[in-house]
Every structure is written in C-alpha cells, then in structure tokens.
Amino acid sequence: MKQKLVFATNNAHKVEEIVAALGGGDFSISTLSECGINEDIPETEPTLEGNAALKARFVFERLKSMSVEAMVFADDTGLEIEALGGAPGVMSARYSGSGTQGNIDKVLAELERKECRIAQFRTVIHLIEPNGEEHSFEGKVEGEILFERNGDEGFGYDPIFCPQGFEQSFAQMPLEVKNSISHRGRAVRAMAQWLQTKL
C-alpha cells in the first residue's frame, strides 16, 4: 500500500521534481488543490526552516479541521550568494517583487562588477506525521552564478546557477541529472530514506 503524502504546494515544477526524486513506487503525492486547499499560505518567517515549518503546520491544521488525516510536508528553498551576504536567501522567490525574470535580472545586476560568484542552493523540508510529530530534512548544492542565462529547463534561478563540477546550468540539464545533484533532490532523498523506515 502506498504511503500518502500531502505536499504543501501547487507548484507543478516542484511536484514534478519531488515525484521524480521519490521514485514513485511506495509514495502517493497530493497537492494542496487536490486536497481542497486553495488559499495562499503566508511565508513570514525570517529563515527557510521557519517558512517550511509554517507552511507544513498551516496545511496540517487545515486538513485536521477537514477531518483528513495525512502526512504533510512543505519545503522552502533559497539561493544564497556569498558576494551578496547570503542574499537573496529566504527572499529568493520575492527578491525583485516582479517574478522570476525580475529576480534573475536583479541578481545579475548586483553581481555585475563582482569577481566572486560563489553561491549555494539550500532546501529545507519540514514533515509532520499524522500524530503531530515533526521532522526536518536539508539538502544543499554549491556552485556559482553565471554571467547570463543558459537553458530553458527547470524554473526559478536555474538558468544562472551552475553546480560545482559541471559546465551546464541547472536549466540545461535533464530533470533526472538535476535531481541527482540538486538541493531539493538531496533533501527529498533524505526524507525518503526516513519514510522508508515507516513503511
């Protein structure tokens, strides 16, 4: 019997990555809309850990009020750039206030005259069991920010992030390659290993 998980998102790209990283099989993933939750979840915490926990708890309580018992998880991801003091970090999705392309433009502009382009992506997943017990998993990947966009795959900052040891951006890689090294892939595998102990 498959283990049912509710992922606190409606982001199709994230769902696709999570399903691929979990490898299907033992797990069944439901999104917020599939559970009848359509409101926006606030992301008001100052850390990735805080936001992931906030989202997971929000969904857990909403499902509880609907008499739905489920294992819930949420993630928060940040791009942390050394030359920008760790920015955009927890503000990654809202960095420019004008969406993904604006976020990329802002990062490229801020790094225009900087030699150091070291960066890392970090994902934190917060999971809540039906009995209310909470667990946290983290994944990160180091790399550098490119000087221009490269590739059409992926989402977010993928076109300008080149992981260490590679010559392609995340947006130039097939999903299975990206998942094998990415921050989200590593966090999901850590969660999956833990979930296997519960089967």
| Cβ–Cβ < 8 Å for 80, 122 | yes
Task: Please give the backbone phi and psi of residue 71, each rounded to the nearest 5 degrees, phi first.
Answer: -90, 125
76 in active site:
yes
State which H helix or E strand residue 89 sits in.
strand 88-89
The answer for 132, left when phi > 0, alpha when psi is -120 to 50, beta otherwise, is left
Residue 178 in 3-state DSSP? helix
The answer for 170, left when phi > 0, alpha when psi is -120 to 50, beta otherwise, is alpha
The answer for 87, left when phi > 0, alpha when psi is -120 to 50, beta otherwise, is beta
**DSSP secondary structure code for residue 135 in this structure:** E
Considering 26, 75, 76, 152, which one is annotated as catalytic? 76
Active site residues: 76
